[in-house]
Amino acid sequence: MKYQSLWLEDKSKRKYPSLKNNLNVDILIIGGGITGLSTAYFLRDKGYKIALVERDKIGIGASGRNTGKITYLQGTIYADLCNMYNDEVAKEYLYSQDLAISLIRNIILDEKIKCNLEKSKSYVFTENDEEIENIKEEKIFLESIGLDVYENVNENEKIKCKYIIGVDNTYTFNPVKYLDQLAIICKKSKIKIFEKTKIIKIIKNDGYICKTDKGLKIKCNKLILACHYPYFLKPYFMPLKVNIEKSYLGAAIVDKVKNKSYITNAYPYKSLRYYKDKEKYLIYLTNSHIICDNLDEKRNFKQMLKEIDDLDINLSYYWSNDDLMTVDGMPYIGRLEKNNDNLFIGTGYNTWGNTNGTLAGYCLCKLVLNEKCEYEKIFDPLRVNKLSYIDKIIVNSYYNMKGYIENKLIKNKYWYNKNVSYEVINNKNVAIYKDGDKEYIVYSKCPHLGCTLIFNEIDKTWDCPCHASRFNLEGKCIKGPSNYDIAYNEEDEEDEL
């Protein structure tokens, strides 16, 4: 059993260089996941000098750790949007997802990308009586716009449900194989791609100057933030508008596969889909939760393993993934600042990054070219929060404050780890991990917004329970939104506020 994403087993050995010299381009894209690569793909033949930078490796972040579904049936999002907004907004969102499915399918067929694309049926189900009515509302909406919807047809012995609906014309694929080929196509189109290139500061100055952690500069006229958790210019733009959800996934070899995928409509989410390549797999997702809750990674993985055991299957791979959840269930795609046609963002995909990340690439391309985008208004990152979902805003604010305050007070104490301690050395708050005779000392505060870090026993990392930054034992930042290290033997960094 390997602790890694199934998709990363297929990760090509292809490497892209890190930035070695200062660079001047028309457009800079920050982020090498499905949003960044889709945007680069749609802009590739528009006459611009374009560069894409990724702080780690292309396609190995959230885009390379999801379930690989391409579907418009996303829990009960349409019933929820009807209640929060109106039927027209729900229809626009559905049409956007249908467009994204067509875009992905056409790219795969036109470019002859081998990524295990399979047409499948999608189902949403519930194990609880109290959720049945919500799914029935979803069915009524889908049928109102002419879609055929299956009802109470459960053909999967791996799930137990009280009520289930399903639709046709959805797909599954291998997201990493897809992204690998998008990167190749973009490179052939003279788009410069750089891995292991971390942008730590952005300065607005006749365009933008983006500084890397190596002291290099990239100057650009237009800047697109396609990173998982947005940061840089507006540190307080996101915390009250999103929270981070964590899920646990596993892939098990099975005797047969079905062209069907499943998901529940409410917490704790469960998801299943099948995948066929060299082996046949069932991919199972469970135990979804807001990141500041259930901080014990060992316990969370044990819960997933117990559920897998109850299904009488054996895992070959297991991993986790983070998703950015918005208060109204729709992504933020568009201009980051009012009346600024040079700064754009795509983020907040609510676990549906394959469709929404592709859609972001499509929309951002149009906006960069100053063309009309049919979804500009509903996905506007600056859209005003509606009173109809004020309860969600309050809950979101609560979880953000909870993550900050609770870990300050209790840290690791409620699942005590004898090898971890929090101390004050030379008037500095530090965290210490002891591995036999070796001792690792780091600053205990996340440089992003100051949350106290907790120790992850599975990965042996220091994790931020507020916004999911991650640092290795030596204190090197290996996952954002933080850009700075926390090694005790290095110069103490100021907050990124």
The rounded average pLDDT for each run of 10 residues, N- to C-terminus, in the chain (497 residues) is 88 83 98 97 97 94 94 96 94 98 98 97 93 96 96 75 94 96 96 95 92 96 88 56 87 91 88 94 88 75 83 88 90 92 94 97 97 96 67 58 55 63 84 87 84 84 84 86 79 43
Identity of the residue numbered 208 = Y
Domain that includes residue 446, residue range: 411-479
Q: Which of 58, 34, 13, 14 is closest to 197 using CA atoms? A: 58
pLDDT value at residue 230 = 67
Terminal-residue alpha carbon distance, the chain: 41
Domains in the chain, number: 2
247 neighbors 320 (Cβ within 8 angstroms): yes
- Residue 307 per-residue DSSP state: H
Cα within 13 Å of Cα(235), Cβ side: 14
Q: Which of 153, 191, 156 is closest to 53 using CA atoms? A: 191
pLDDT value at residue 493 = 44
CATH number of 431's domain: 2.102.10.10
What is the spatial distance between Cα 183 and Cα 193, in angstroms, rounded to a whole number? 8
Please report which residue ranges of 147-288 form alpha helices under DSSP H: 175-188
What are the two backbone dihedrals, phi and then psi, of residue 137, each rounded to the nearest 5 degrees?
-65, -40
**What are the beta bridge partners of residue 347?**
332
Query: Model pTM greater than 0.85?
Result: yes
Q: Of all helices (H) and strands (E), which one includes residue 172?
A: strand 163-172
Query: Is residue 400 one of the residues assigned to a domain?
Result: no
Identity of the residue numbered 147 = L
- Residue 375 per-residue DSSP state: T
CATH number of 38's domain: 3.50.50.60
Query: Is residue 96 one of the residues assigned to a domain?
Result: no
Query: Is residue 225 one of the residues assigned to a domain?
Result: yes
The token duo for 323 is 């998703």
Q: Which of 54, 38, 48, 70 is closest to 363 using CA atoms? A: 38
Check whether residue 431 and residue 373 sit in a common domain: no
What is the spatial distance between Cα 38 and Cα 107, in angstroms, rounded to a whole number? 10
The token duo for 379 is 């996905």
pLDDT value at residue 487 = 87
pLDDT value at residue 216 = 98
Q: Is 108 helix (H, G, I), strand (E, B) or coil?
A: helix
Check whether residue 382 and residue 430 sit in a common domain: no
pLDDT value at residue 490 = 46
Q: Which residue has the tokens 């069932």?
A: 282
Check whether residue 348 and residue 468 sit in a common domain: no
Q: Which residue has the tokens 């208004």?
A: 377
349 neighbors 357 (Cβ within 8 angstroms): yes
Check whether residue 336 and residue 222 sit in a common domain: yes
What is the spatial distance between Cα 370 and Cα 271, in angstroms, rounded to a whole number? 39
